[in-house]
Amino acid sequence: MNKKSGGNLVGVHALVWAGDTSRESIEIAAKRSSEAGFDLLELSLHDLANLDVPHARDVMKRHGLQVACSRGLAFDADVSSEDRVVVERGAKLLHDSLVATAGLGARILTGALYSALGKYGRPVTERGRQNAVAVLRSLAEEAQRLGVALGLEVCNRYETNVVNTARQAIALADDIGSDNVFIHLDAYHMNIEEDDFARPIRETGARLGYVHVGENHRGLLGSGHIDFASLFHALADVRFKGPITFESFSSTVVAQGLSNDLAIWRDLWTDGGGIASHARAYIAAQLEAAVA
């Protein structure tokens, strides 16, 4: 696509535009993403029941956008649980999400696919982790047949107890043992859990398949203390050519359930268009500077 920056698709999370996946919201998110110069729109599948997949696929094609899908799980559908019924419920939700991803024409399903998205009161148990591995191994086999890759997003300690660092994600991917499972790093979470922004990227290397860029406060890029120069230079060092997607959340746009899970209590912005356009230019500048 002619909008690519340095070979990377540059994306934006749909929550910059709309809090659900109704037909109207999909129309708005796709139109505004395209107008702001993005190549890809990331759709959260937490609102899967309301997503008209054929309609959304047609809308994305009309606006020249590629799609990536993301989600986490709920505590009553947690594949890292020791409760068989809970694990089976989570496996079904992941299956349904994978089918929707393929139906949208997307090739990426990523996020906290391995656990509930929320604060745990204890470490993950060995049995619980084994359950997550078994479910994701089966899901990866199904995804392979559908032409979809699965991303293990590294999230902070307040959103999962299974994968908090790149090294833990690599270990989980090794245990799953599927070629179509990649690592997904996120600047916001790295800022909390990693020692720096470069080492995790270099250690992940060719297994890195997707990157989220967001500030430490989830607001305007460059207005916080994330070391984006270090991050983008490390991406250049490993010759990362995957999607780079902007994430920002504000209580101006609320997704039922998900916004609360992410603890979005503040109005960090009221104009999604303004913050998105700024992000598109900021990412392009960082990519250019990293190879200069």
Query: What CA–CA distance (Å, rounded) separates 212 from 108?
Result: 13
The answer to whether the CB of 109 falls within 8 A of the CB of 97 is yes
Nearest alpha carbon to residue 171 among 199, 145, 132, 210: 132
DSSP SS3 for 131: helix
* Spatial CB neighbours of 270, under 8 Å, sequence gap ≥ 6: 250, 252
The answer to whether residue 141 is catalytic is no
The answer to whether residue 153 is catalytic is yes
Catalytic residue among 88, 159, 247, 288: 247
The token duo for 278 is: 């700024």
Nearest alpha carbon to residue 208 among 163, 238, 164, 168: 238
Catalytic residue among 153, 159, 194, 215: 153
Query: What CA–CA distance (Å, rounded) separates 173 from 181?
Result: 6
Output the CA angle 226-197-271, nearest 5 degrees.
35
Query: What CA–CA distance (Å, rounded) separates 267 from 249?
Result: 8
Q: Which residues are catalytic?
A: 153, 247
